[in-house]
Amino acid sequence: MNNAQRHDLFITSVWTKKLANFKDVNEGLLKNIFSKSIPLYSSANTYGGQEATFHYHESLQEVLNAAESLATEIAKFMGVLKERDKSPRIACYWGNINKEKEFNPPHVHPASDLSGVYYVKIPVSTETTEDQETAAGKICFHDTRLEKCISTPFYEENLGYLDLANYSFPKGTSHNPWLDNVAKFKPEEGMMAIFPSWLLHYVEPNLCKEDRIAISFNISF
């Protein structure tokens, strides 16, 4: 494009990072927290179990420290730390346990600046290798710009509004940030994702027999 300048407006970023020692961290979390008999509750925002009263363990603290460290780098990139004295801090955190066919429908995280998720256990499908791409369920971010939401808001022709518990998501789809309404990230054990709290997102159904386990958190500047 000769003599043309591009101006990126209203940029929406999602940051991902894999913990270097995630195997040891996840082993500690599964052994000392998620192996215990934890009471789970359901709310309007989940079709899986959530737990907010964790037992303290050093493995959990490693996850929280990593989240605050990444959030600090994000705040520096955004220029937030130049305007405020305090560094980002974890405002709250909770566990998500999704059993077979359980999922998290579209939602946002109010009253916080950034939100994130850390994956403790990603189940493996007993079906063919081809199904591994979608079996555990991806985290999906939806473009919240009004015009694009109106054009295709969780709706598919001849299907109606999506029944997430029974809908078969397309495999191997790639994301075009200029055209697509939804960007999907395949979860991996040890992966952390941080995103703006206002960004609409959902998690596809867990189609595996074993539980999908993650830790979610909100961050305030």
Write the CA distances from 195 to 57, 130, 136, integer angstroms. 25, 29, 21
pLDDT of res. 171 = 46
Residue 33: predicted pLDDT: 79
In this predicted structure, the answer to whether residue 148 has a pLDDT above a threshold of 80 is no
Residue 156 confidence (pLDDT) above 50: no
Q: What is the pLDDT of residue 61?
A: 92
Q: Tell whether 136 is covered by a domain.
A: yes
Look at residue 4 and tell me if it is in a domain.
no
**pLDDT greater than 80 at residue 195:** yes
* pLDDT band per the 50, 70, 90 thresholds, residue 47: low
**Above pLDDT 90, what percent of the chain?**
43
Q: What is the domain-level CATH number for residue 147?
A: 2.60.120.620
Q: Which amino acid is located at 123 in the chain?
A: P
Q: Are 201 and 12 in contact (CB under 8 A)?
A: no
Residue 141 lies in a domain: yes
Q: What pLDDT sits at residue 175?
A: 56
Within-domain flag for 7: no
Q: Establish if 138 belongs to a structural domain.
A: yes
Rg (CA), the chain: 18
Mean pLDDT of the chain: 79
Beta carbons within 8 Å of 102's beta carbon, 6+ residues apart:
47, 48, 49, 205, 206, 212
pLDDT at residue 41 is higher than 90: no
CA atoms within 13 A on the CB side of 67: 30
What is the distance between the alpha carbons of residues 93 and 216, in angstroms, rounded to a whole number? Answer: 6
What is the pTM for the complete model shown?
0.81
Residue 10 lies in a domain: no
For tokens 């989940």, what's the residue?
Answer: 46
Report the SS3 class of residue 206.
coil
Q: Which domain holds residue 55?
A: 15-35+42-220
More confident residue, 155 or 39: 39
The DSSP call for residue 189 is T
- If one counts the domains in the chain, the total is 1
Q: pLDDT digits over 81-90, tens only?
A: 766 667 899 9
Does residue 206 sit within a domain? Answer: yes
The verdict on residue 143 lying in a domain is: yes
